[in-house]
Amino acid sequence: MPDITHPWTRFALVVIIALVAAGLIHRAADVFLRRLALRHPMGASIVARANTPLEAIVPLAMVLLAFRVAPDEPARLIDGMEHLLGVCLIGACTWFLVRCIGAVEATVSRFNPIDLEDNLRARRLQTQSRVLARTGMVVTVVLGVGVALMTFPAVRQFGASLLASAGIAGIAVGLAAKPVLGNLIAGIQIALTQPIRLDDVVIVEGEWGRVEEITSTYVVVKIWDERRMIVPLQYFIETPFQNWTRTSSQILGSVLLWFDYGLPLEPLRAEMERICKAAPEWDGRVMGMQVVDSNDKGMQVRALVSSSNSGKSFDLRCKVREGLIAFVRREFPGYLPRLRGDIDREQARSYKSGVGAAV
């Protein structure tokens, strides 16, 4: 029978008791969290994501506590093991916090889908939650790694010497980390002020596209031809760009056409009205036609129409352009754009006959 008074025996008993207590505590916490999850959907997401790191935190914490109350002799012999457990506990806590932040983001995204017609509020909430969650994850990981490194005496001495020479070292580190810190700060600014949101239609570097993803350092813009443009977060803080869905997705589209001066505008306006009323892309807000320019060759007619979003606006503009051109070709073919120096056949025939009579 083992001697209970022996230090190693007492140490083993303390560890066993700590593991049993860890199992009981984890079971009680699991029951409590599952009941909480039934009351609130965010609790269910947190339980699903944070359960795995929690299974590591509780045993590590209890075993580390057992090391602290253990007899002196075993504790001195396994001092390195205690340090390793401490580092593992810091890592597990960092993992737990990252998973909780991810659970909050996932819950916000699930209850605010952006695949709806009126998704302005959902895009605003998803953008805020995603950018802040990614920034929070980065900060949590950096702090966790920093705390873990500070448990090593050599790193603590290096940190103290670094603080002693903080003047030059601080400037050097600040310059080296400027892009990373700048993007992190820009991410927080974007989350709070929201110059862009998920699924926003933007014009960046002359390219039309939608904001597909916002990370902690860059934005992915899906261009109309399926390409992806990767843009740093700082770009949207420091550089002017167009956002077509900042407050609403409604947009006006224009169609510019050139015709001869003799073309009557009222039939053209009636045809435009017929095309718009038959097109599902027209939202019924704006429909107008005006002569906006002229030169020695003809007049420029602008058809202005409205749609609920930029995609429908492009399709509607194409329909109006094709319909008006077809209407003029069919009903008024003589008033299509042409050079004023052209002479039609009858004029040429009369001109020839006049010249022949004069001779």
Nearest CA to 196 out of 154, 236, 225, 230 is that of 236
Is residue 342 included in any domain, yes or no?
Answer: no
Is 192 in the same domain as 319? no
Among candidate residues 198, 220, 246, the one where a domain is terminated: 246
Is residue 28 included in any domain, yes or no?
Answer: yes
CB–CB of 272/249 below 8 Å? no
Is 103 in the same domain as 227? no
Distance between the two ends of the chain, CA-based, in angstroms?
Answer: 143
Give backbone dihedrals phi and psi of 342, rounded to 5 degrees, phi first: -70, 145
Task: Name the 3-class secondary structure at 193.
Answer: helix
Is residue 53 included in any domain, yes or no?
Answer: yes
Is residue 343 included in any domain, yes or no?
Answer: no
Is 135 in the same domain as 69? yes
Is 169 in the same domain as 299? no
Is 44 in the same domain as 96? yes
Is 221 in the same domain as 325? no
Nearest CA to 302 out of 287, 313, 312 is that of 287
Residue 317: how many other CB atoms lie within 10 Å: 19
Is 25 in the same domain as 147? yes
Alpha-carbon Rg for the chain in angstroms: 36
Per-position DSSP letters for 70-111, written without gaps between them? S-HHHHHHTHHHHHHHHHHHHHHHHHHHHHHHHHHHHHHHHH
Joined tokens for residue 343: 């002479």
pLDDT at 337: 78
Is residue 315 included in any domain, yes or no?
Answer: yes
Is 172 in the same domain as 212? yes
Among candidate residues 208, 224, 246, the one where a domain is terminated: 246
- Encode pLDDT of 293-338 as tens digits: 988 888 999 999 999 888 899 999 999 999 999 999 999 988 887 7
Q: How far is CA 316 from the centre of its chain?
A: 28
CATH code, domain carrying 204: 2.30.30.60
Per-position DSSP letters for 35-63, written without gaps between them? HHHHH-HHHHHHHHHHHHHHHHHHHHHHH
Q: In what order do the strands lie in the sheet with 282-294?
A: 251-259, 299-307, 282-294
Q: Which residues in the chain come in under a pLDDT of 70?
A: 1-24, 26, 29-48, 66, 68-80, 115-120, 154-181, 339-359
Is 55 in the same domain as 147? yes
- Encode pLDDT of 9-42 as tens digits: 556 666 666 666 666 676 776 666 666 665 666 6
Is residue 164 included in any domain, yes or no?
Answer: yes
pTM of the prediction?
0.57
Give backbone dihedrals phi and psi of 286, rounded to 5 degrees, phi first: -130, 135
Joined tokens for residue 90: 């810091």
Is 211 in the same domain as 283? no
CB–CB of 127/190 below 8 Å? yes
pLDDT at 126: 77
- What DSSP character marks residue 296? S
Give backbone dihedrals phi and psi of 234, rounded to 5 degrees, phi first: -60, -25
Nearest CA to 197 out of 134, 133, 244 is that of 244
The bridge status of strand 228-232 relative to strand 242-243 is unpaired
Joined tokens for residue 189: 């600014």
CATH code, domain carrying 297: 3.30.70.100
pLDDT at 227: 92
Amino acid, res. 180: V
Among candidate residues 246, 274, 306, the one where a domain is terminated: 246
- The sign one gets for the Cα dihedral 5, 11, 12, 13 is positive
Longest dimension (CA), the chain: 143
Nearest CA to 265 out of 233, 285, 290 is that of 290
Range(s) of the domain holding residue 25: 7-111+125-151
Total domain count, the chain: 3
Joined tokens for residue 183: 């993007």
Is residue 2 included in any domain, yes or no?
Answer: no
Is 147 in the same domain as 46? yes
Q: Spell out the residues 6+ positions from residue 203 whose beta carbon is closer than 8 angstroms to its own.
A: 241, 242, 244
Is residue 355 included in any domain, yes or no?
Answer: no
Is 14 in the same domain as 144? yes
